[in-house]
Amino acid sequence: MEHISTTTLIVTLIVMVVISAYFSGSETGMMTLNRYRLRHMAKQGNRQAKRVEKLLRKPDRLISLVLIGNNLVNILASALGTIVGMRLYGDAGVAIATGVLTFVVLVFAEVLPKTIAALYPEKVAYPSSLLLAPLQILMMPLGVVAQHHYSHSDAHDGYKNRYRRERGLKQR
């Protein structure tokens, strides 16, 4: 990494934060869409609505994609932030980068995109589906591994039992 300029690392870091914001906003936009309106628009022939509807048929895959994508870019952003911090401020740069990056990711890659997506779900979900659909195919192997791990975990069993309990269904 020493041969890569600090400017290039900072630009890449900013790109990672933007991608993280995309994943965060996309998740909220997709999950807060009015399903009746979506179905109506899809039946009317709206291609974007059809694409979103297809993504939402398997919400577990969509959530896996968003979580994997967001974690990948956030981990990369963290590594880049640490390198930049150390280059600019020495050993103290690690602490500085941690503080700054925590604030930046929280505000600009989590809260702000989720708030915008909650207010305007169609304006976020429809365009974001253009990238999510092919990404879902590309990242399917990772998603399958994540889903398999989750579906065989105690956390998943606890969730299923809580779901059954809340609906008055028989628990296993």
Q: Are 126 and 148 in a shared domain?
A: no
Residue 116 has a pLDDT of: 98
Q: Are 134 and 158 in a shared domain?
A: no
124-169 pLDDT per residue, tens: 999 999 999 999 989 888 767 776 776 676 655 565 555 556 666 5
* CA 108 to centroid of chain Cα atoms: 13
Number of domains the chain is built from: 2
- The distance in angstroms from the start CA to the end CA of the chain is 52
Q: Are 133 and 145 in a shared domain?
A: no
For the chain, residues with pLDDT lower than 50 are none
CA distance 81 to 93: 9
Residue 139 has a pLDDT of: 85
pTM above 0.85?
Answer: no
**Cα Rg of the chain (Å, integer):** 19
Q: Which two tokens stand for residue 149?
A: 């791990």
Torsion of CA 85, 86, 88, 90, to 10 degrees: 130
